[in-house]
Amino acid sequence: MSFRDMAFVFTPTLDSKEPRSARKIHIRRLYDVMHMCIQKNDFDRATRAWTVLAHCKEINAQAKWSTSLHILSAKNPEDPQKAVEFLRVMMLQHPEDREPILTEMILCLITAEQHRDALDELELYLPSFPYQDNAVLHVYAGLLSMYIGQRTSGPSQFDPALLRSAQTYFERAKVLDPNNSTVESFLQKIQKLNGGVPQPTTEREESDDDGLEVTSDRPKQKRVRTERKSKNSIFD
């Protein structure tokens, strides 16, 4: 079997047609090499292969931001801020992918234990479209509110304001995704923390033909760069 006739493993574009020129064959081979290096955790070679591919006009490197993010995160596990800054740039360059990009940014911040920063990002974007209709982002905001509000003096004590905020986020997520069992379980947990009595939220939701308006009178929390993971936390 010749080099030209060997089967390809990965497809770099949505076009599934077989390449007809030597250049396109080499690009497909290099793309396969890059992914094989990623699977073998050989990110130095994967980076070199991706650098070459990114300069090929046949490859839309910016559209494949998830590949760049994976390699960048793997090469800099001790410095997740590089991945966060990269995702900020991608949000500006790819507005059509801003929801999944924001989700990845939140996960990067949580991995870096920058929980307050992650919640700040969600509080910034969630009131606006299209993020306000994303149930997953509301779930993250609820979980982060509970985690930050959990006092270190005991495993079942929470800041009342942040607990109400978490309830609001979970209730919004339940409206968007009624079958989400995670949301229901945390709403039940909040009800138990409140002594079995549902607490009214401090946010008002009004729906009309033009969309949803959400206003909040919850005071902003002071921004903290890092949050220490406490024992018996909800993320354990």
pLDDT single digits (tens) 92-117: 888 888 899 999 999 988 988 889 99
Domain boundaries, the chain: 1-59, 69-106, 113-236
Q: Give me the amino acid identity at 138.
A: H
Predicted confidence band at 220 (pLDDT cuts at 50, 70, 90)?
very low
Mean pLDDT, the chain, integer: 75
- Going by C-alpha positions, the residue among 98, 165, 112 that lies closest to residue 138 is 165
Distance (Å) of CA 80 to CA 75, 83, 119, 150: 10, 5, 16, 24
Lowest-confidence pick of 59-73, 125-139, 220-234: 220-234
The Cα–Cα gap between 75 and 162 comes to 35
Please report the pLDDT score of residue 39 as a whole number.
87
- State the pairing for strand pair 211-216/203-208: antiparallel
Residue 165 DSSP symbol = H
Please report the pLDDT score of residue 17 as a whole number.
55
pTM: 0.67
Please report the pLDDT score of residue 173 as a whole number.
92
The total of other beta-carbon atoms located within 10 Å of residue 147's CB is 22
DSSP count for the chain of H helices, then E strands: 9, 2
Kindly state the helix (H) or strand (E) to which residue 213 belongs, with its residue range.
strand 211-216
161-176 as b/e, with b when 16 or more CB fall inside 10 Å? ebbbbbbbbbbbbbeb
